[in-house]
Amino acid sequence: MAAADVGDDVYGDDPTVNRLEATLAEMLGKDAAVFMPTGTQSNLAAVLAHCGRGEEVLVGDNYHIMCHEAAGASVLGGIALQPLATTPSGRVTPDTVTHAIKPDDAHCPMTRLLALENTVGGKAVPLAEMRAASDAAKAHGLAVHLDGARFFNAVTALSCAPHALAEIADTISVCLSKGLGCPVGSVLVGPGDIIRRARRNRKLLGGGLRQAGVLAAAGLFALENTVSRLTDDHERASALANALGAMGGGEVTHHTNMVFFTPARCDHHKLHDTLARFGIKAGAQSPTMRLVVHRDIDDIALNAAIAAFEQALDAAQMPS
């Protein structure tokens, strides 16, 4: 990052940002890409590029765009967010998509976009299901956006090429700052005309960065060095889930790099406090805790976490 070649990305002349954008566009088989400060801004710039005021985006009812982005598309774009029921595995079915599309009627917003997500809460949605939902949208002339914050975790779990997953969507937002380990950054990928509009939206949203090559350099490093090691995260998550399961202290599920643990008969505060004393930070959701494995968790750290859970679960156990 310190050695990165930089220029002014607002003028499009930061060579490192340009290289990152070209690299991801090529990996995903699209024309163009634009570097974004955050995944939230990337999704919003994309939705604003696809839809205008009075138009509508269909989006899974538990997806990030629906629940965790401050309704930016509605607040800033006058765009309606129509939640779609998702299956327990995080999918939207083609029927759900078809039934949600509004008729051409003055009473209704105009349905323009389907926003999908993969992975969803760590769950990788298979290509066939992504394609079925996408095809249902395209049959009615909708565009398709994929919130691929954890795109490479999905691709790794599905054992497919990046462009095979990217193919189902017009635009894809990929976070560099999640499992790939960059401090900052996302990239929005798609057709040239949409990406040009998204680049304008990025400026409008205050996300035009100047010498952003220092950040893009981390992104390029990640694409070359950390994508291929995501399998390690998935394997360690699986090992952590197995170890927690063997302790018999509650229910455990795991998907890609995430473990979800619902302790039985347990004082949650005490459990978190004890884990924190061992240096283990666990998602504070209750009753189910989320544990995320990433590139800074090696086998030593994993074993330390397992040992901490053994002690903390004992300490936090409540009489049945």
Ligand X SMILES: *Cc1c(COP(=O)(O)O)cnc(C)c1O
Q: What is the CA radius of gyration of the chain?
A: 21
Hey, how many other C-beta atoms are within 10 angstroms of the C-beta on 90? 21
Backbone dihedral region for residue 58 (phi beyond 0: left; psi -120 to 50: alpha; all else: beta): beta
Q: Is 233 in the site for ligand X (CB under 6 A)?
A: no
Give the chain's length.
Answer: 320
Q: What is the DSSP code string of 93-118?
A: -HHHHHHHSPPS-TTSPEEEEEEEES
- Ranges of H-type helices in 10-125: 15-28, 39-50, 64-67, 72-77, 94-100
CA–CA separation, 257 vs 252, rounded Å?
13
Of residues 38 and 82, the one with the C-beta less far from ligand X:
38
Interface segment toward ligand X; rule CB under 6 A; list 16-24, 36-44, 196-204, 266-274: 36-44
Question: Which residue number has the CB closest to ligand X?
Answer: 39
Of residues 123 and 178, the one with the C-beta less far from ligand X:
178
From residue 260 to residue 279, what is the string marking binding to ligand X with x (rule CB under 6 A)? --------------------
Of residues 14 and 147, the one with the C-beta less far from ligand X:
147
Interface pick for ligand X out of 16, 18, 40, 134 (rule CB under 6 A): 40
Of the candidates 240, 276, 279, the residue with the CA atom closest to the CA atom of residue 258: 240
Q: Is 257 in the site for ligand X (CB under 6 A)?
A: no
Interface pick for ligand X out of 64, 112, 234, 254 (rule CB under 6 A): 64
Q: Give the shortest CB-65-to-ligand X separation in angstroms.
A: 7
From residue 131 to residue 160, what is the string marking binding to ligand X with x (rule CB under 6 A)? ----------------x-x-----------
Q: Is 186 in the site for ligand X (CB under 6 A)?
A: yes
Contact 252, 244 (CB under 8 A): yes
Contacts with ligand X, residue ranges (CB under 6 A) = 38-40, 64, 117, 147, 149, 175, 177-178, 186
